[in-house]
Amino acid sequence: GDSVTQMEGPVTLSEEAFLTINCTYTATGYPSLFWYVQYPGEGLQLLLKATKADDKGSNKGFEATYRKETTSFHLEKGSVQVSDSAVYFCALTLPQGAQKLVFGQGTRLTINP
Amino acid sequence: DAGITQSPRHKVTETGTPVTLRCHQTENHRYMYWYRQDPGHGLRLIHYSYGVKDTDKGEVSDGYSVSRSKTEDFLLTLESATSSQTSVYFCAISESSEQYFGPGTRLTVT
């Protein structure tokens, strides 16, 4: 079945460090890929998405590129801030029917000043 | 922000009691979903709806039922709550590939 695997957390970085959170997927079709972010005590918010191979999604300084050849969608940010501390979820959906999301297990990110 | 509310936001209940969680939207979106969030598992789909009175099972549907009698409301019912159903429950809505999530309900079954 379809699945998403994220790098194990938690991840702790200093402010202004470079961030990479790895995400790989397995899917039977051609999925759309997403990164969601969850701040403490809140629901999930869509951070960015990509719908086809080689697309780059970007938002708030975060980027991720849809790599079909390596089935990956790694999240990157060049200089993290304390306010980026949150849990990040990689997810996929297949573009038909109810478009159910399949999530990775989440990666908790803490940024220290 | 998408207009999604969940009620209650917190609930503590005893094993064996019925529990109903409500999701309400003001966006008139066709699709609605219920997920549960547990450490190490991310979010897992319980049930979803693709229209009024049209629902289907997700990955972890055992022990749960749903109903959607109006476009704006999607109810999740635990007929007889068990401790394994202690979790945070999220509702989501969509009209396309993007889903928008509610604030969540923290349910504790003692």
Helices first, then strands: H and E counts in chain B: 0, 11
Q: How confident is the model at residue A7 (pLDDT cuts 50, 70, 90)?
A: confident
What's the one-letter identity of residue A73?
A: F
Distance CA A73, CA B29 (A): 28
* A43:B42 CB<8 A: no
Q: Are the C-beta atoms of B5 and B24 separated by less than 8 Å?
A: yes
Given a cut of 90, is residue A104 above it in pLDDT? yes
Given a cut of 70, is residue A84 above it in pLDDT? yes
> What's the whole-number mean pLDDT along residues B19-38?
96
According to the model, what pLDDT value does residue A52 have?
92
> What's the whole-number mean pLDDT along residues A54-61?
96
According to the model, what pLDDT value does residue B21 have?
98
Count of CB atoms situated within 10 Å of the CB of B103: 15
Given a cut of 90, is residue A39 above it in pLDDT? yes
According to the model, what pLDDT value does residue A41 have?
85
> What's the whole-number mean pLDDT along residues B14-29?
96
Q: How confident is the model at residue B1 (pLDDT cuts 50, 70, 90)?
A: low
Q: Are the C-beta atoms of A64 and A75 separated by less than 8 Å?
A: yes
Residue A105 has its nearest CB partner, among B41, B50, B92, at: B41
Given a cut of 90, is residue B95 above it in pLDDT? no
Q: From B99, which residue of chain A is nearest by alpha-carbon distance? A: A46
What residues does B54 pair with on adjacent strands? B51
pLDDT digits (tens, 9 = 90+) for B39-78: 888 899 999 999 999 999 999 999 999 999 999 999 999 9
More confident residue, B16 or A99: B16
Q: Are the C-beta atoms of B60 and B42 separated by less than 8 Å?
A: no
Q: How confident is the model at residue A9 (pLDDT cuts 50, 70, 90)?
A: confident
> What's the whole-number mean pLDDT along residues A25-46?
92
Which residues in B have their CB inside 8 Å of a CB on A? Answer: 31, 33, 35, 40-45, 48, 50, 56, 58, 90, 92, 94, 96-104
> What's the whole-number mean pLDDT along residues A76-100?
91
The number of CA neighbours under 13 Å toward the Cβ of B102 is: 29
Q: Are the C-beta atoms of A98 and A31 separated by less than 8 Å?
A: no
pLDDT > 90: what percent of chain A? 83
CA A75 to chain centre: 5
According to the model, what pLDDT value does residue A99 have?
79
Residue B97 has its nearest CB partner, among A45, A95, A104, at: A95
> What's the whole-number mean pLDDT along residues A52-67?
96
